[in-house]
Amino acid sequence: MPKPSLLEQLNYIAKEADSQLESAASEADIESWRVAYLGRQGRLTMLLRNLSSLPIDDRRVVGLEANRVKKLLEEKLNGRQQALKEAGYSRSLLEGGIDITLPGRPMAIGRLHPTTRILREILEAFTSMGFSVLEGPEVEWEHYNFDALNIPSEHPARDMWDTLWVDWADPSSQERNMLMRTHTSPMQARVMENNEPPIRVVVPGKCYRYEASDATHEWHFYQVEGLAVDTGITFADLKGTLYQFAKRIFGQDRQIRFRCDYFPFVEPGVDMSIDCFSCNGKGCRICKESGWIEILGAGMVHPNVLQGVGYDPKKYTGFAFGMGPERIAMLKYGIDDIRHFYTNDLRFLNQV
Ligand code: DAH
């Protein structure tokens, strides 16, 4: 029988390697297969060593074919290794003690910030009564923050708001001063300038003051401003609206009390208190034994403010109010220090 040619031998080795690899069932099997065929003493390698004995033309043909077979076998080896690995994974999933019926681990998800929560509650109370929600700039002109609110420069009431001024040079030579708004009241004038009555808006937003912080004062905090202007609005509308609001936030049994207070942009000006929800008015630590808790400032919009935006104060009247949502949240949720709100301590934030 003539000796099979190198090409035939190659062909034979390729086929044999193929079927051997199919039956390799473990990583060890695969490794011995690799040694047997592709290793340094392997059958393919040995065969290639004989190439040099061939005539030059045959050498090229067989050489090409041998490399093709080598490459093919290497690819198959990789494929087989991969398949075995995957089979191993699924087996260990089935047998390896992973109980897929166990409940998953809970994921730590975020939650609403206490300020966001109370803001939403407050705004909902007013939108349910027909108010719209609007926002305004935190960097404001002196004009809107003060003058338009009946607080001209040199007016002593400016001391009520320690102000952070913004350094800037006005290229228009109007010498307008810029500041961080000290309250949300400037939006009263902005809203009236851009709209005709009837107006019913609430304005949530951040405010800034140049002052030291302590348990009840922060240098930045939120306010919610309210404004209603129309023909025939009276103090009774103010009372009714804010009474509704107080009951909605602090409970249906709440009573309210108004006392005279001074804010330059309202006349008369008042502060509103609710009877203490903790002791029902008997006197306790929360209401400082008075039975009452002050929750906001309010009043009838000052005629000067109406006139300033071009409204006729003989035709239109309105009421305004302003409150600190952090203070409302502190009362409602029993938080003892306003500085907790913005120090980002998760032990605080996670409680809400
Ligand atoms: N802007 C006032 C403040 O920051 C709060 C306030 C009081 C707003 C009375 C009002 C109001 O609209 O009528 O102290």
Amino acid 95: pLDDT: 77
Check pocket membership of 287 for ligand 1, CB cut-off 6 A. Answer: no
Q: Is 320 a catalytic residue?
A: yes
Check pocket membership of 266 for ligand 1, CB cut-off 6 A. Answer: yes
Amino acid 4: pLDDT: 65
Amino acid 1: pLDDT: 46
Within 8 A by CB and 6+ apart from 323, the residues are 122, 223, 224, 295, 296, 297
Q: Are 192 and 314 in contact (CB under 8 A)?
A: no
If you ran DSSP here, which 8-state letter would residue 55 be given?
-
Amino acid 9: pLDDT: 84
Q: Is 217 a catalytic residue?
A: no
Check pocket membership of 324 for ligand 1, CB cut-off 6 A. Answer: no
Q: What is the pLDDT along the chain (352 residues), one digit of tens a residue?
A: 455 677 888 888 888 888 888 888 888 888 888 888 888 888 888 877 877 787 888 888 888 888 888 888 889 888 888 888 888 777 777 776 777 788 988 888 889 999 999 999 999 999 999 999 999 999 999 999 999 999 998 888 888 899 999 998 888 877 899 999 999 999 999 999 999 999 999 999 999 999 999 888 999 999 999 999 999 999 999 999 999 999 999 999 889 999 999 999 999 999 999 988 888 888 888 888 999 989 999 999 999 999 999 999 999 999 999 999 999 999 889 898 999 999 999 999 988 7
Atom of ligand 1 nearest to the CA of 270: 9
Amino acid 147: pLDDT: 96
How does 50-79 read in b/e, with b if 16+ C-beta sit within 10 Å? Answer: eeeeeeeeeeeebeeebeebbeebeebbee
Q: Indicate which residue of 34, 181, 183, 190 is catalytic.
A: 183
Q: CB neighbours (10 Å) of residue 32?
A: 13
Q: Which amino acid is at 219?
A: W
Cα distances from 282 to residues 247, 258, 277, 279, in angstroms, run: 19, 18, 10, 5
Report DSSP letters for 58-82, one per residue: HHHHHHHHHHHHHHHHHHHHHHHHH
Tell me the whole-structure pTM to 2 decimals. 0.72
Q: Is 223 a catalytic residue?
A: yes
Amino acid 203: pLDDT: 98
The protein residue with its alpha carbon nearest to ligand 1, atom 8, reads: 322
Check pocket membership of 299 for ligand 1, CB cut-off 6 A. Answer: yes
If you ran DSSP here, which 8-state letter would residue 320 be given?
E
Q: Is 143 a catalytic residue?
A: no
Amino acid 3: pLDDT: 58
Separation between Cα atoms, residue 241 and residue 248, nearest integer Å: 11
